[in-house]
Amino acid sequence: MDIYNSGGPEVSIRSLKKDSMKFVLTNTDLSVANALRRVMIAEVPTMAIDMVEIETNSTVLTDEFIAHRLGMIPLTSFDVDRIQYTRDCTCTLYCPNCSVELTLHVKVNVDYDDMNDPTIDKTRQVTALDLISSDESVKPVSDDKAHPILIVKMRPGQELKLKCIAKKGVAKEHAKWSPVYGVSFEYDPYNRLRHSHYWIEEDEKLEWGVSANAAEETPVDPNEPFDYNAKPDKYYIEVETSGCMKPEEVALRAMTIMQDKLGGLQIKLDDEFKEDTQRWGY
Protein backbone atom coordinates (compact mmCIF):
# COMPACT_ATOMS: atom_id res chain seq x y z
CA MET A 1 0.00 0.00 0.00
CA ASP A 2 1.25 3.45 -0.93
CA ILE A 3 1.49 5.32 2.35
CA TYR A 4 1.29 8.69 0.60
CA ASN A 5 -2.22 7.92 -0.63
CA SER A 6 -3.43 6.31 2.59
CA GLY A 7 -5.18 7.91 5.53
CA GLY A 8 -1.98 7.76 7.56
CA PRO A 9 -0.56 5.27 10.04
CA GLU A 10 -2.89 3.76 12.64
CA VAL A 11 -2.08 2.28 16.05
CA SER A 12 -4.10 -0.36 17.88
CA ILE A 13 -3.04 -1.35 21.41
CA ARG A 14 -3.30 -5.08 22.07
CA SER A 15 -1.85 -5.26 25.58
CA LEU A 16 -0.81 -2.60 28.09
CA LYS A 17 0.98 -3.36 31.35
CA LYS A 18 3.09 -1.40 33.81
CA ASP A 19 6.40 -1.97 32.01
CA SER A 20 5.40 -3.48 28.66
CA MET A 21 3.06 -2.90 25.77
CA LYS A 22 2.00 -4.65 22.58
CA PHE A 23 0.45 -2.73 19.71
CA VAL A 24 -0.23 -3.06 16.00
CA LEU A 25 0.97 -0.41 13.55
CA THR A 26 -0.84 -0.38 10.19
CA ASN A 27 -1.06 1.64 6.97
CA THR A 28 2.60 2.56 6.83
CA ASP A 29 5.89 1.47 5.32
CA LEU A 30 8.39 -1.00 6.76
CA SER A 31 10.99 1.76 7.03
CA VAL A 32 8.66 3.83 9.24
CA ALA A 33 8.02 0.91 11.59
CA ASN A 34 11.74 0.22 11.92
CA ALA A 35 12.48 3.93 12.41
CA LEU A 36 9.94 4.04 15.24
CA ARG A 37 11.64 1.05 16.85
CA ARG A 38 15.07 2.69 16.64
CA VAL A 39 13.83 6.02 17.99
CA MET A 40 12.22 4.31 21.00
CA ILE A 41 15.53 2.61 21.74
CA ALA A 42 18.00 5.43 21.15
CA GLU A 43 16.40 8.88 20.96
CA VAL A 44 13.85 9.22 23.77
CA PRO A 45 15.52 11.32 26.51
CA THR A 46 15.78 10.03 30.08
CA MET A 47 17.77 10.69 33.24
CA ALA A 48 20.83 8.63 34.18
CA ILE A 49 23.82 8.98 36.50
CA ASP A 50 26.61 10.60 34.50
CA MET A 51 29.12 11.70 37.15
CA VAL A 52 30.21 9.98 40.36
CA GLU A 53 32.35 11.58 43.08
CA ILE A 54 33.57 8.90 45.50
CA GLU A 55 34.74 10.21 48.86
CA THR A 56 35.27 6.92 50.71
CA ASN A 57 35.40 3.38 49.35
CA SER A 58 36.78 0.52 51.41
CA THR A 59 34.66 -2.16 49.73
CA VAL A 60 36.02 -5.01 47.60
CA LEU A 61 35.02 -3.23 44.37
CA THR A 62 37.11 -0.50 42.76
CA ASP A 63 35.83 3.03 42.23
CA GLU A 64 35.47 2.46 38.47
CA PHE A 65 33.43 -0.70 38.97
CA ILE A 66 30.99 1.00 41.34
CA ALA A 67 30.70 4.07 39.09
CA HIS A 68 29.80 1.89 36.11
CA ARG A 69 27.14 0.04 38.12
CA LEU A 70 25.64 3.32 39.30
CA GLY A 71 25.46 4.63 35.74
CA MET A 72 23.39 1.64 34.60
CA ILE A 73 20.73 2.02 37.32
CA PRO A 74 17.47 3.24 35.67
CA LEU A 75 16.05 6.45 37.12
CA THR A 76 12.45 7.61 36.95
CA SER A 77 12.13 10.11 34.11
CA PHE A 78 8.44 10.98 34.00
CA ASP A 79 9.24 14.70 34.33
CA VAL A 80 12.35 14.71 32.14
CA ASP A 81 11.11 17.64 30.02
CA ARG A 82 11.65 19.94 32.99
CA ILE A 83 15.39 19.19 32.98
CA GLN A 84 17.67 20.90 30.45
CA TYR A 85 20.44 19.22 28.53
CA THR A 86 23.83 20.15 30.00
CA ARG A 87 24.92 21.48 26.60
CA ASP A 88 21.97 23.91 26.62
CA CYS A 89 22.48 25.12 30.20
CA THR A 90 24.44 28.26 31.06
CA CYS A 91 26.21 26.69 34.06
CA THR A 92 29.86 25.64 33.93
CA LEU A 93 29.49 21.98 34.97
CA TYR A 94 26.09 21.17 36.48
CA CYS A 95 23.28 22.89 38.36
CA PRO A 96 19.69 22.14 39.53
CA ASN A 97 18.38 23.17 36.10
CA CYS A 98 20.31 20.49 34.21
CA SER A 99 21.03 17.81 36.82
CA VAL A 100 19.84 16.00 39.93
CA GLU A 101 22.11 15.07 42.84
CA LEU A 102 21.96 11.65 44.52
CA THR A 103 23.99 10.69 47.58
CA LEU A 104 24.90 7.37 49.20
CA HIS A 105 26.57 6.73 52.54
CA VAL A 106 26.70 3.25 54.05
CA LYS A 107 29.00 2.18 56.87
CA VAL A 108 28.95 -1.31 58.37
CA ASN A 109 29.94 -1.16 62.02
CA VAL A 110 31.92 -3.91 63.70
CA ASP A 111 30.00 -5.78 66.40
CA TYR A 112 32.61 -7.80 68.28
CA ASP A 113 29.93 -9.79 70.12
CA ASP A 114 28.68 -11.25 66.82
CA MET A 115 31.99 -11.59 64.99
CA ASN A 116 32.50 -15.23 65.98
CA ASP A 117 28.86 -16.29 65.57
CA PRO A 118 28.58 -18.17 62.22
CA THR A 119 24.77 -18.12 62.35
CA ILE A 120 24.60 -14.34 61.89
CA ASP A 121 24.92 -12.96 58.37
CA LYS A 122 27.26 -10.03 58.63
CA THR A 123 27.01 -9.05 54.95
CA ARG A 124 25.33 -5.73 54.14
CA GLN A 125 23.85 -5.46 50.66
CA VAL A 126 24.04 -1.93 49.24
CA THR A 127 21.28 -1.46 46.66
CA ALA A 128 19.81 1.28 44.52
CA LEU A 129 17.32 2.00 47.31
CA ASP A 130 20.21 3.36 49.40
CA LEU A 131 20.59 6.26 46.97
CA ILE A 132 19.00 9.45 48.31
CA SER A 133 17.82 11.85 45.60
CA SER A 134 17.49 15.62 45.90
CA ASP A 135 14.50 15.47 43.53
CA GLU A 136 11.57 13.12 44.17
CA SER A 137 10.77 12.93 40.45
CA VAL A 138 14.22 11.45 39.70
CA LYS A 139 15.08 8.40 41.78
CA PRO A 140 16.05 4.77 41.21
CA VAL A 141 13.32 2.61 39.72
CA SER A 142 11.91 0.20 42.30
CA ASP A 143 9.44 -2.67 42.21
CA ASP A 144 7.82 -4.22 45.28
CA LYS A 145 7.71 -7.59 43.52
CA ALA A 146 11.41 -7.67 42.62
CA HIS A 147 14.71 -7.41 44.45
CA PRO A 148 16.35 -3.96 44.32
CA ILE A 149 19.38 -3.51 42.09
CA LEU A 150 22.53 -4.60 43.91
CA ILE A 151 25.49 -2.22 43.88
CA VAL A 152 27.96 -3.92 46.23
CA LYS A 153 28.13 -6.26 49.23
CA MET A 154 29.88 -4.93 52.32
CA ARG A 155 31.35 -6.53 55.41
CA PRO A 156 31.89 -5.13 58.94
CA GLY A 157 34.39 -2.29 58.99
CA GLN A 158 33.79 -1.22 55.38
CA GLU A 159 32.37 2.12 54.27
CA LEU A 160 31.08 3.64 51.03
CA LYS A 161 30.35 7.33 50.65
CA LEU A 162 29.73 9.03 47.31
CA LYS A 163 27.78 11.64 45.37
CA CYS A 164 26.17 11.10 41.96
CA ILE A 165 25.09 13.63 39.36
CA ALA A 166 22.25 12.50 37.09
CA LYS A 167 21.88 14.25 33.75
CA LYS A 168 19.51 14.18 30.80
CA GLY A 169 20.58 12.34 27.67
CA VAL A 170 19.68 9.87 24.93
CA ALA A 171 20.91 6.35 24.24
CA LYS A 172 22.69 7.47 21.06
CA GLU A 173 25.26 8.94 23.47
CA HIS A 174 25.29 5.99 25.89
CA ALA A 175 23.07 2.94 26.43
CA LYS A 176 22.40 3.95 30.05
CA TRP A 177 19.93 6.57 28.78
CA SER A 178 17.76 4.05 26.92
CA PRO A 179 14.20 3.93 28.33
CA VAL A 180 13.64 0.38 27.08
CA TYR A 181 15.16 -3.04 27.57
CA GLY A 182 14.02 -4.10 24.13
CA VAL A 183 11.72 -3.24 21.24
CA SER A 184 10.81 -5.87 18.68
CA PHE A 185 8.44 -5.98 15.77
CA GLU A 186 7.19 -8.64 13.42
CA TYR A 187 5.32 -8.56 10.14
CA ASP A 188 3.92 -11.18 7.79
CA PRO A 189 3.94 -14.07 10.32
CA TYR A 190 2.98 -16.57 7.59
CA ASN A 191 5.87 -15.37 5.39
CA ARG A 192 3.45 -14.65 2.58
CA LEU A 193 5.89 -12.10 1.12
CA ARG A 194 8.77 -14.61 1.31
CA HIS A 195 11.13 -12.13 2.94
CA SER A 196 12.47 -14.94 5.15
CA HIS A 197 14.33 -17.90 3.67
CA TYR A 198 14.13 -20.95 5.92
CA TRP A 199 16.49 -23.90 5.98
CA ILE A 200 14.14 -26.85 5.57
CA GLU A 201 15.18 -30.43 6.19
CA GLU A 202 11.90 -32.29 5.73
CA ASP A 203 8.75 -30.47 6.83
CA GLU A 204 8.57 -26.66 6.93
CA LYS A 205 5.53 -26.53 9.23
CA LEU A 206 7.11 -28.82 11.81
CA GLU A 207 10.54 -27.17 11.73
CA TRP A 208 9.39 -23.53 11.50
CA GLY A 209 6.29 -22.87 13.57
CA VAL A 210 4.33 -19.64 13.26
CA SER A 211 4.29 -17.00 16.00
CA ALA A 212 1.32 -16.01 18.14
CA ASN A 213 0.73 -13.06 15.80
CA ALA A 214 -0.34 -15.48 13.07
CA ALA A 215 -3.74 -15.70 14.78
CA GLU A 216 -4.37 -12.11 13.63
CA GLU A 217 -4.02 -12.97 9.92
CA THR A 218 -5.45 -15.36 7.36
CA PRO A 219 -3.36 -18.49 6.68
CA VAL A 220 -1.64 -18.73 3.31
CA ASP A 221 -3.42 -20.72 0.62
CA PRO A 222 -0.79 -22.98 -1.03
CA ASN A 223 -2.60 -22.52 -4.35
CA GLU A 224 -2.61 -18.74 -4.05
CA PRO A 225 -0.49 -17.02 -6.76
CA PHE A 226 2.49 -15.07 -5.49
CA ASP A 227 2.08 -11.28 -5.60
CA TYR A 228 5.40 -9.72 -6.57
CA ASN A 229 4.14 -6.19 -5.82
CA ALA A 230 2.85 -6.92 -2.32
CA LYS A 231 4.31 -4.92 0.58
CA PRO A 232 3.92 -5.28 4.35
CA ASP A 233 1.53 -2.84 6.00
CA LYS A 234 0.82 -4.43 9.39
CA TYR A 235 3.46 -4.60 12.12
CA TYR A 236 3.24 -6.24 15.55
CA ILE A 237 5.39 -4.23 17.96
CA GLU A 238 6.36 -5.14 21.53
CA VAL A 239 7.96 -2.66 23.95
CA GLU A 240 9.53 -3.48 27.33
CA THR A 241 10.71 -0.53 29.39
CA SER A 242 13.22 -0.29 32.22
CA GLY A 243 10.57 1.28 34.45
CA CYS A 244 11.84 4.83 34.02
CA MET A 245 8.79 5.65 31.86
CA LYS A 246 5.46 4.11 31.04
CA PRO A 247 5.57 2.13 27.77
CA GLU A 248 2.83 4.21 26.17
CA GLU A 249 4.78 7.37 27.02
CA VAL A 250 7.90 5.98 25.34
CA ALA A 251 5.91 5.23 22.17
CA LEU A 252 4.22 8.65 22.12
CA ARG A 253 7.50 10.48 22.70
CA ALA A 254 9.15 8.49 19.91
CA MET A 255 6.34 9.38 17.50
CA THR A 256 6.64 13.06 18.43
CA ILE A 257 10.41 12.97 17.86
CA MET A 258 9.90 11.38 14.44
CA GLN A 259 7.34 14.05 13.51
CA ASP A 260 9.74 16.81 14.56
CA LYS A 261 12.57 15.30 12.52
CA LEU A 262 10.44 14.83 9.41
CA GLY A 263 8.84 18.25 9.85
CA GLY A 264 12.25 19.93 9.97
CA LEU A 265 13.34 17.99 6.89
CA GLN A 266 10.21 19.02 5.01
CA ILE A 267 10.77 22.69 5.84
CA LYS A 268 14.36 22.51 4.57
CA LEU A 269 13.27 20.80 1.36
CA ASP A 270 10.55 23.40 0.79
CA ASP A 271 13.09 26.19 1.25
CA GLU A 272 15.46 24.52 -1.23
CA PHE A 273 12.62 24.12 -3.72
CA LYS A 274 11.63 27.80 -3.45
CA GLU A 275 15.26 28.87 -3.82
CA ASP A 276 15.71 26.75 -6.95
CA THR A 277 12.45 28.06 -8.38
CA GLN A 278 13.54 31.67 -7.92
CA ARG A 279 17.02 31.00 -9.28
CA TRP A 280 16.21 28.84 -12.28
CA GLY A 281 12.59 29.73 -12.96
CA TYR A 282 11.08 26.22 -12.74
The pLDDT, as a whole number, for residue 279 is: 78
Q: Which CATH number fits domain 3-43+180-193+228-280: 3.90.550.10, 3.30.1360.10, 3.40.640.10, 3.50.50.60?
A: 3.30.1360.10
Q: Which residues of 158-170 are buried (b: 16+ CB within 10 A; e: fewer)?
A: bebebebbbbbbb
Measured CA to CA, the distance from residue 8 to residue 155 in angstroms comes to: 60
List the chain domain ranges: 3-43+180-193+228-280, 47-173
The pLDDT, as a whole number, for residue 114 is: 62
The pLDDT, as a whole number, for residue 90 is: 94
Residue 72 near residue 176 (C-beta atoms within 8 A): yes
Say whether domain 47-173 belongs to CATH 2.170.120.12: yes
Measured CA to CA, the distance from residue 252 to residue 87 in angstroms comes to: 25
The pLDDT, as a whole number, for residue 2 is: 38
Please report, in tens digits, the pLDDT of each residue of the chain (282 residues total). 333 344 688 999 999 999 999 999 999 999 999 999 999 999 999 999 999 999 999 999 999 999 999 999 999 999 999 999 999 999 999 999 999 999 999 999 877 556 666 656 689 999 999 999 999 999 999 988 889 999 999 999 999 999 999 999 999 999 999 999 999 999 998 888 888 777 777 776 666 778 888 888 888 888 888 888 989 989 999 999 999 999 999 999 999 999 999 898 888 888 888 887 777 766
Full-model pTM: 0.84
